[in-house]
């Protein structure tokens, strides 16, 4: 009978039950914290929603980072990563203009 209770996760041991509830509480807290973190990140300009508003140069930078530099998926970047990509794009645009005297052919999306 003890074998069946242990297999089903039922035990007379209060400590294992308490551990289970603590683990469940931690998972709920992590879910809440992750939700707040995602909303804060989106408010600061990161996340999947901001990825939709990228221009072609930003998408090209993401492509290089993901497939050439092997930095992982670029489809849900933090606000910091988005700002870094914008700085790279601004640098490319300024170097293009100083070299050619013309604006970069892909307009910057704000």
Domain positions in the chain are 16-100
Contact call for residues 49 and 42 (beta carbons, < 8 A): yes
Going by pLDDT thresholds of 50, 70 and 90, the confidence category of residue 38 is low
Going by pLDDT thresholds of 50, 70 and 90, the confidence category of residue 77 is confident
- Predicted TM-score (pTM) of this structure: 0.60
Question: For residue 21, is pLDDT > 80?
Answer: no
Find the helix packing angle between 79-100 and 56-63, rounded to 10°.
110
Helix, strand or coil for residue 44?
Answer: coil
Diameter of the chain measured on Cα atoms: 83
According to the per-residue pLDDT averaged within each range, which of 14-23, 52-61, 86-95 is highest? 86-95
Angle, vertex CA 20, rays to CA 18 and CA 21, nearest 5: 65
CA distance 7 to 72: 39
pLDDT value for 109: 81
């Amino acid at each position: 009978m003890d074998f069946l209770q242990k297999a089903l996760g039922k035990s007379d041991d209060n400590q294992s039950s308490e551990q289970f509830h603590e683990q469940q509480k931690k998972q709920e807290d992590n879910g809440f914290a992750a939700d707040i973190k995602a909303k804060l990140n989106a408010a600061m300009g990161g996340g999947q929603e901001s990825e939709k508003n990228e221009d072609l140069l930003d998408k090209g930078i993401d492509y290089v980072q993901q497939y050439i530099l092997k930095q992982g998926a670029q489809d849900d970047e933090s606000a910091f990563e988005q700002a870094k990509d914008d700085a790279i794009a601004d640098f490319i645009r300024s170097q293009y203009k100083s070299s050619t005297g013309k604006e970069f052919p892909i307009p910057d999306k704000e």
